[in-house]
Amino acid sequence: MIDAMKSKILKNLTPYLFILPGFAFLLFWIVFPMIKAFQISLFEWNVMPNSSSIFLGIQNYVRAAKDSLFWLAVKNSFFYALATVIGQLFLGLLVAIILDRIAHGKIFFRTLYYLPVVTSWVVCSLLFKFIFNSSPAGLVNYVLVKSLHLLPKPVTWLNEPGTAFIALYALGIWKGIGWTMVIFLAAIQAIPEDLHQAALVDGANEWQYARKITIPLLIPTIVLTSIMLTIGAFQTYIPIALITRGNPIHRTEVILSYMYEQAFSNRDFGYGSALSYILILIVFTISQIQMKFKKEENQLY
């Protein structure tokens, strides 16, 4: 009788025993920090041990709402998302559509285009900082001025917010095309080849086929991909930290670079945590849209 009970308890416990070790890590390094971050965001947090912090309530959030530098960072993040998401989607789609139609070398091109995706952000950022160098010998300057004659004289790319963002957008798009291409290529390959043959027999050309058949069929994939890319774009930090460091005078700051600076340069953990929570809120809002869309898509089929 007791043995039977014992084995029943053990049986009920079994799944928890498998889940517990990993979940303990999550509790300790994710759940607890999530709660802690919210707590910190309500204080003027004193970094020194054994010294008390001042409770501020929602003051840090109010401060963010009034902080023009933070709003500039939000605006910069928004435009970064807009530019890089559109760039990655459009170019990734173009490459995927063409790649699907060529006779030989698919794997070669796919591998090559994917290389920037697997290369670390640190290396890619430094590389772009170097090729967008202000000197006439900088690679981008040289190509645009001397080889293609598109510009009259070398540009001091990283000294002005406008041109610095061109370099940052270029990096974001260059590094991401491979990823969108792989997603789109898989979706395109799922379209039956008969459709293509039938369209060609009916006298359609490749461009008409892509515009009338391929792209409409890819709309769900395009929407989901763009939401995922947007979430990723709002989390950009490394290129800013390594290429412009927010300069000149905070004009190129994005949400996370501003948060990091508040937290670790100014040692203002309370304000930094409030900014983090605002980003979490933004990301979760975008995710909700994604969920909703996924549901609708599922109902469609």
Residues 2-41 that bind other proteins (CB under 8 A): 12, 14-19, 21-23, 25-26, 28-34, 36-37, 40
Nearer to other proteins, 40 or 168 (CB): 40
DSSP string over 212-250:
IIIHHHHHHHHHHHHHHHHHHHHT--HHIIIIITT-STT
Rounded to whole angstroms, what are the CA distances from 83 to 88, 89, 117?
9, 10, 18
> Using CB under 8 A, which of 81, 85, 95, 254 touches other proteins?
95
Stretch that binds other proteins, among 51-59, 69-77, 157-165, 278-286 (CB under 8 A): 278-286
Determine contact, residues 63/277, Cβ cutoff 8 Å: no
Task: Kindly state whether residue 265 participates in binding other proteins, applying the rule CB under 8 A.
Answer: no
Whole-number minimum distance, CB 62 to other proteins, in Å? 19
Rounded to whole angstroms, what are the CA distances from 105 to 112, 114, 172, 175?
11, 14, 26, 21
> Using CB under 8 A, which of 64, 177, 210, 222 touches other proteins?
177
**Secondary structure of residue 73 in the 3-state scheme:** helix
Residue 292 is given by DSSP the state H
> Using CB under 8 A, which of 86, 182, 213, 223 touches other proteins?
182
Joined together, the tokens standing for residue 144 give 């645009």
Nearer to other proteins, 252 or 282 (CB): 282
Nearer to other proteins, 124 or 164 (CB): 124
Classify residue 254 by burial, with Cβ atoms within 10 Å: 0-12, 13-18, 19+.
Answer: buried
Task: Kindly state whether residue 102 participates in binding other proteins, applying the rule CB under 8 A.
Answer: yes
Classify residue 236 by burial, with Cβ atoms within 10 Å: 0-12, 13-18, 19+.
Answer: buried
Whole-number minimum distance, CB 248 to other proteins, in Å? 18
Determine contact, residues 121/256, Cβ cutoff 8 Å: no
Stretch that binds other proteins, among 72-80, 159-167, 191-199, 236-244 (CB under 8 A): 236-244
Whole-number minimum distance, CB 270 to other proteins, in Å? 9
Name residues contacting other proteins, limited to 108-167 (CB under 8 A). 109, 111-124, 126-131, 133, 135-139, 142, 146
Whole-number minimum distance, CB 20 to other proteins, in Å? 9
Task: Reply yes or no: is the peptide bond before residue 248 cis, omega within 30 of 0.
Answer: yes
Name residues contacting other proteins, limited to 55-84 (CB under 8 A). none
Joined together, the tokens standing for residue 290 give 């994604």
> Using CB under 8 A, which of 86, 94, 191, 223 touches other proteins?
94
Task: Kindly state whether residue 90 participates in binding other proteins, applying the rule CB under 8 A.
Answer: no
Name residues contacting other proteins, limited to 190-209 (CB under 8 A). 205-206
Rounded to whole angstroms, what are the CA distances from 263 to 37, 40, 61, 253, 273?
12, 11, 15, 14, 8
